[in-house]
């Protein structure tokens, strides 16, 4: 697949051919599902906690006599049927993290990238540097290369603090490095901007 590489002023600098083994495979939907499920599960803190009847701070004094009242037997206000009592089978702290094989995660990422290529949702831009964090200047670059304005994933070959800071207060733009790229971020974006060189780094990391 051939793509034009834009300069930051919007003119075409050259064309590049994206690796077919990354951007041209037959997408595997189940691999994408598993990888996204793992990513979202790994974001969970797992700290939800409720108190059971052994942890509620109430008196253990018996409320009524065992027999003869004509009602049910009750031994404590800690019972779950009372307001403020302990909860039965409530959530407890747990680890939601899941494990996936590296080859499966790679297949999922390449499947997501192939979907974006099929949708013509990938824009290539020449490597550039910003002398200082300027949000207005960064927005102008996005407008020049026609990257869109909603859910834009901007992928850099390496970290650039000025580019990151320029985009930090833009809720519809996410800037990451190629090391941080993941299936969820790709599928959640409407369009992707790849700085020239990202495709070569991805190709060098293919697991055979």
Judge whether residue 122 has pLDDT over 90: yes
pLDDT given for residue 2 in this prediction: 86
> Per the structure block, which two tokens stand in for 104?
């499966």
User: Domain extents for the chain?
Assistant: 2-45+98-204, 50-90
Q: Model pTM?
A: 0.83
Buried residues in 165-188 as b, exposed as e (16+ CB within 10 A): bbbeebeebbbebbeebbbbbbbe
CATH T-level fold of 2-45+98-204:
Ribosomal Protein L4; Chain: A; (3.40.1370)
- pLDDT, tens only, 145-163: 898 888 999 999 988 899 9
């Amino acid at each position: 697949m051939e793509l034009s590489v834009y300069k930051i002023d919007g003119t075409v600098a050259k064309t590049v051919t994206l690796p077919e083994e990354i951007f041209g495979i037959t997408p595997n939907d189940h691999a994408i599902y598993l990888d996204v499920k793992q990513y979202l599960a790994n974001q969970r803190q797992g700290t939800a906690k409720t108190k059971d009847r052994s942890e509620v701070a109430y008196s253990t004094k018996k409320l009524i006599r065992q027999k003869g009242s004509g009602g049910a037997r009750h031994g404590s206000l800690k019972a779950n049927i009372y307001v403020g009592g302990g909860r039965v089978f409530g959530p407890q702290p747990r680890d939601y993290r899941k494990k996936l094989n590296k080859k499966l995660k790679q297949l999922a990422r390449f499947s997501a990238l192939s979907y974006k290529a099929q949708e013509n949702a990938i824009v290539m831009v020449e490597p550039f540097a910003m002398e200082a964090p300027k949000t207005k200047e960064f927005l102008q670059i996005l407008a020049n290369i026609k990257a869109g304005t909603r859910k834009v994933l901007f992928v850099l070959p390496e970290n650039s603090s000025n580019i990151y800071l320029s985009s930090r207060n833009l809720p519809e733009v996410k800037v990451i490095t190629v090391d941080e790229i993941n299936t969820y971020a790709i599928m959640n974006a409407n369009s992707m901007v790849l700085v020239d060189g990202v495709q070569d780094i991805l190709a060098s990391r293919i697991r055979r």
